[in-house]
C-alpha cells in the first residue's frame, strides 16, 4: 500500500512526519508524492495557531474518496474523538505518542474501514532515527532531543498535545548527529519544546554538556537548537557557546511580553529584568550573538503601559527577527477561562506598532552589514529569480545571491544591499 503525509505546523511536526515515514517504510508501505496516488493519507496537524480543526477538515474534504484517512499530531491529540464525530471521512486519530503503532492501526482499519482513537501519552522516550531519504530538508538535519512541556504557560496548548517533558538519551542523540554529519549535513538543529532543560540523568549530563560534546565531535558547520525557555537558562550555556564557534551565534529565545505583570499572568517564570540581564550577559561574552523571539500582543489584561514595556524591550534587545501574534484563546488552556478583554482593533493596532518598530530595527541593523562578508547555507533555488539561490546566515537571516550552489552547500557572500527582511549578496 502507498501512503502520503500532509504536514502542517512547526519543525517538531515536520520531524514527526519523517519518523512516521520511517516507521511505515519499515512496515513495508511505500511513500508517494501526492494524495491521489496514495491508499492512505496521514494529516499531521499543528494546534498552536488558530483554526487547526478547520484546516484539517478543509484538507480532508479535498482528498479523493475511497482512501484511508488518519488525523495525526497535535490537533488529533487534543481533540480526539471530536474530530471523528465532526468528520465522517476521517478513520482514525493517532496522537503525538501513537506513531509507533501506526502500522498496526492501518491493519486494524482494514478493508472494513474501522474507525478509532489512539491518543494515550507514553511516559518513555520513543526512540527513532528517520532514514536520511525520508528527511524533508536536505539542508538542516533535525534531531529531536526532548518532547513535551511541564511549564503550562497559561495560553499554551502544548502540554496538552505533547504531554510532560521526556528527554532522549545522550547516546541516541549522538548516534543520530554522527549519522547526519556522515550523510553530509552541514547543519544540525536540536529540537524540542524546551531544549535547554534537556538532561540525561544516568550520565549526569545537561544541555550545555550535550552541546559541548556535539560541537567537539561532529563535522557539521553549525549546530542550532530550538526552542529555549528563558526560565530554564543557566550560565553554562553562555560558556559552552563561547567555547565553540560551531554553535551558531543565534538563539531563538521567546519572551512573549516585556511586562513582568503580564509575564506573571502568562505563568512565565522569569521577569523582564531577569530576561534582559540574560541577554546582557550573552552580549558581553559573545558580542556577535543575535536573538529572535515570539510575542503575543493583547493578552488578557494587557494595558497600554504593559504594551509599551514590550516595545521598549524590543528596542533594547534588537532582535534579528520575531514572530508576533494577536492573542486568541486556545481550548484546554488556563487563559481560555480568562476574559479575552482587549478589543480586536486594539490588538491589531498594537500588533502593527510592534511590527513597525521591529521592521525599523531590522532595516537599521541590516544596513550595518553592507560591505561585510558572511557565510550562507543555501536552502534552495529562488522561486522567482532564475539563477539565484536563497541562503540563511549564521544569525538565521535570509540572503539572496546569484549562484549555482545546491541546497546544503555553504558559500561565502559579500553583502551588497539589504531590506528589513532579507539581505542581498554576491558570491565570493
Least separation in angstroms between residue 412's CB and ligand SF4 is: 36
C-alpha cell at 71: 488525523
Kindly tell me which residue out of 12, 69, 153, 278 binds ligand SF4, with binding defined by CB under 6 A. 153
42/251 with CB nearer ligand SF4: 251
**DSSP secondary structure, 310-373, as one string:** HHHHHHHH--SEEEEEE----TTSSGGGS---S-HHHHHHHHHHHHHHHHHHHHHHHHTTTT-E
Cis peptide before 120 (omega within 30 of 0): no
Q: Can you tell me which of 17, 193, 228, 358 binds ligand SF4, judged by CB under 6 A? A: 193
Tell me the HSE value of 218 on the side-chain side, using a 13 A CA sphere.
Answer: 32
Q: Which residues of 371-384 are buried (b: 16+ CB within 10 A; e: fewer)?
A: eeebbbbbbebeee
> Measured from the CB atom, is 225 or 229 closer to ligand SF4?
229
Min dist CB 409 to ligand SF4, Å, is 33
Cβ burial of 271 (10 Å; 0-12, 13-18, 19+) is middle
Buried b (16+ CB within 10 A) or exposed e, 260-270: bbbbebbbbeb
Give me 90's grid cell: 476521517
* Cell reading at 346: 486594539
Residues 214-233 that bind ligand SF4 (CB under 6 A): 229
The smaller minimum CB distance to ligand SF4, of residues 97 and 135, is found at: 97
| CB closer to ligand SF4 out of 185 and 253 | 253
285/34 Cα distance (integer angstroms)? 49
Q: Is 158 in the site for ligand SF4 (CB under 6 A)?
A: yes
Judged by CB under 6 A, the stretch of 86-94, 124-132, 153-161, 172-180 that binds ligand SF4 is 153-161
CB 46 → ligand SF4: shortest distance, Å? 13
Size of the site for ligand SF4 (CB under 6 A): 10
Task: CB nearer to ligand SF4: give 152 or 336.
Answer: 152
The verdict on 152 binding ligand SF4 (CB under 6 A) reads: yes
Name which of residues 111 to 130 contact ligand SF4 (CB under 6 A). none
Cα separation of 370 and 384, whole Å?
24
**Region of 33-41, 156-164, 273-281, 416-424 interacting with ligand SF4 (CB under 6 A):** 156-164
Query: Which of 44, 196 has the CB closer to ligand SF4?
Result: 196
Q: Which is nearer to ligand SF4, 158 or 390 (CB)?
A: 158
C-beta of 271 vs 365, nearer to ligand SF4: 271
293 binds ligand SF4 (CB under 6 A): no
Q: Which stretch binds ligand SF4 (CB under 6 A): 152-160, 206-214, 281-289, 380-388?
A: 152-160
C-alpha cell at 182: 556522515
**Smaller CB separation from ligand SF4, 9 or 159:** 159
Region near ligand SF4 per CB under 6 A, out of 83-91, 144-152, 170-178, 351-359: 144-152
For ligand SF4, the binding residue among 9, 141, 159, 391 (CB under 6 A) is: 159
Tell me how far apart the alpha carbons of residues 342 and 280 are, in angstroms, rounded to a whole number. 32
336 binding ligand SF4? (CB under 6 A) = no
- Specify the DSSP element, H or E, that contains 101: none
Contact call for residues 323 and 285 (beta carbons, < 8 A): no
Radius of gyration of the chain (CA): 22
Nearer Cβ to ligand SF4 (229/307): 229
- Binding status of residue 149 toward ligand SF4 by CB under 6 A: yes
Q: What is the footprint of ligand SF4 within residues 229-268 (CB under 6 A)?
A: 229
Distance of CA 264 to the CA centre of its chain: 24
Using the contact rule CB under 6 A, the part of the chain among 85-93, 100-108, 146-154, 309-317 near ligand SF4 is 146-154
Mask of contacts with ligand SF4, 342-381, x by CB under 6 A? ----------------------------------------
Q: Is 212 helix (H, G, I), strand (E, B) or coil?
A: helix
Part of the chain binding ligand SF4 (CB under 6 A), chosen from 118-126, 150-158, 242-250, 337-345: 150-158
**116, β-bridge pairs:** 92
Strand bridging mode 30-31 / 2-7 = parallel
> Angle 102-109/11-26 helices, nearest 10 degrees?
70
Binding residues for ligand SF4 (CB under 6 A): 149, 151-153, 156, 158-159, 193-194, 229
Amino acid at each position: 500500500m502507498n501512503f502520503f503525509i500532509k504536514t502542517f505546523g512547526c519543525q517538531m511536526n515536520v520531524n514527526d512526519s519523517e519518523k512516521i515515514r520511517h516507521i511505515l517504510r519499515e512496515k513495508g508501505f511505500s511513500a508517494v508524492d501526492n494524495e491521489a496516488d496514495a491508499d492512505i493519507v496521514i494529516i499531521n496537524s499543528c494546534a498552536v495557531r488558530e483554526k487547526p480543526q478547520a484546516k484539517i477538515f478543509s484538507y480532508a474534504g479535498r482528498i479523493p474518496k475511497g482512501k484511508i484517512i488518519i488525523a495525526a499530531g497535535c490537533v488529533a491529540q487534543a481533540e480526539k474523538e471530536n474530530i471523528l464525530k465532526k468528520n465522517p471521512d476521517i478513520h482514525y486519530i493517532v496522537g503525538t505518542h501513537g506513531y509507533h503503532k501506526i502500522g498496526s492501526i492501518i491493519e486494524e482499519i482494514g478493508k472494513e474501514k474501522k474507525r478509532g482513537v489512539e491518543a494515550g501519552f507514553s511516559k518513555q522516550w520513543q526512540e527513532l532515527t528517520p532514514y536520511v531519504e525520508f528527511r524533508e530538508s536536505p539542508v538542516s538535519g533535525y534531531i529531536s532531543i526532548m518532547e513535551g512541556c511541564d511549564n503550562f504557560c497559561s495560553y499554551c496548548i502544548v502540554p496538552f498535545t505533547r504531554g510532560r517533558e521526556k528527554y532522549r538519551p545522550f547516546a541516541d542523540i549522538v548516534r543520530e548527529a554522527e549519522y547526519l554529519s556522515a550523510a553530509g549535513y552541514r547543519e544540525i538543529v536540536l529540537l524540542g519544546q524546551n531544549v535547554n532543560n534537556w538532561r540525561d540523568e544516568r550520565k549526569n549530563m545537561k544541555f550545555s554538556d550535550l552541546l559541548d560534546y556535539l560541537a567537539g565531535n561532529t563535522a557539521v558547520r553549525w549546530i542550532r537548537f530550538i526552542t529555549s525557555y528563558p526560565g530554564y537558562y543557566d550560565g553554562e550555556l553562555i560558556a559552552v557557546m563561547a567555547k565553540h564557534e560551531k554553535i551558531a551565534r543565534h538563539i531563538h529565545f521567546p519572551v512573549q511580553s516585556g511586562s513582568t505583570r503580564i509575564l506573571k499572568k502568562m505563568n512565565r517564570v522569569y521577569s523582564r529584568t531577569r530576561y534582559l540581564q540574560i541577554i546582557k550577559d550573552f552580549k558581553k561574552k559573545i558580542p556577535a550573538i543575535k536573538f529572535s523571539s515570539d510575542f503575543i500582543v493583547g493578552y488578557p489584561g494587557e494595558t497600554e503601559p504593559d504594551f509599551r514595556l514590550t516595545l521598549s524591550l524590543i528596542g533594547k534587545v534588537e532582535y534579528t527577527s520575531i514572530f508576533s501574534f494577536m492573542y486568541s484563546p486556545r481550548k484546554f488552556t488556563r487563559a481560555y477561562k480568562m476574559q479575552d478583554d482587549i478589543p480586536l482593533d486594539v490588538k491589531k493596532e498594537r500588533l502593527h506598532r510592534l511590527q513597525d518598530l521591529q521592521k525599523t530595527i531590522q532595516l537599521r541593523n541590516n544596513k550595518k552589514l553592507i560591505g561585510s562578508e558572511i557565510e550562507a547555507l543555501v536552502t534552495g533555488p529562488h522561486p522567482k529569480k532564475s539563477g539565484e539561490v536563497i541562503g540563511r546566515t549564521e544569525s538565521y537571516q535570509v540572503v539572496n545571491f546569484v549562484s549555482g550552489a545546491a541546497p546544503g552547500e555553504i558559500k561565502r557572500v559579500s553583502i551588497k544591499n539589504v531590506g528589513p527582511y532579507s539581505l542581498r549578496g554576491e558570491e565570493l
